[in-house]
Amino acid sequence: MEKGYTEAEVQHIAEECMEFEHIISAMGYGYSLLNVSPDRYVRRCPDCVHWLGGSCEIFRDELSNAK
C-alpha cells in the first residue's frame, strides 16, 4: 500500500465517498471486459480517478478527521 495507508483505511473511505469513480469505469471499458467480478468488487481509494497518488482532498480530509 502506498505511503503507509492501510487497506482498511482506503477501503473504508472509498465506501463512504460520494465522489468515488473507479478508473475502469472512467475509461469507458466496463467492468466485465477487465474481469472485475461484482462479487469480488471492493471500492478502494487507489482505484479512484481522484486518488492522484494519495493527494485526493477527500481522502486526506477523512484521514485527518479520523485521527
| pLDDT confidence of residue 57 | 94
Q: What is the pLDDT of residue 29?
A: 61
**What is the pLDDT, as a whole number, of residue 42?**
85
The 10s digit of each residue's pLDDT in 7-66 is: 999 999 999 999 998 887 766 665 555 556 556 678 999 999 999 988 999 999 998 987
Entry field: residues in the chain: 67
Instruction: Give the DSSP H or E segment for 33.
Output: none
Q: Which pLDDT score, from 0 to 100, does residue 2 have?
A: 57
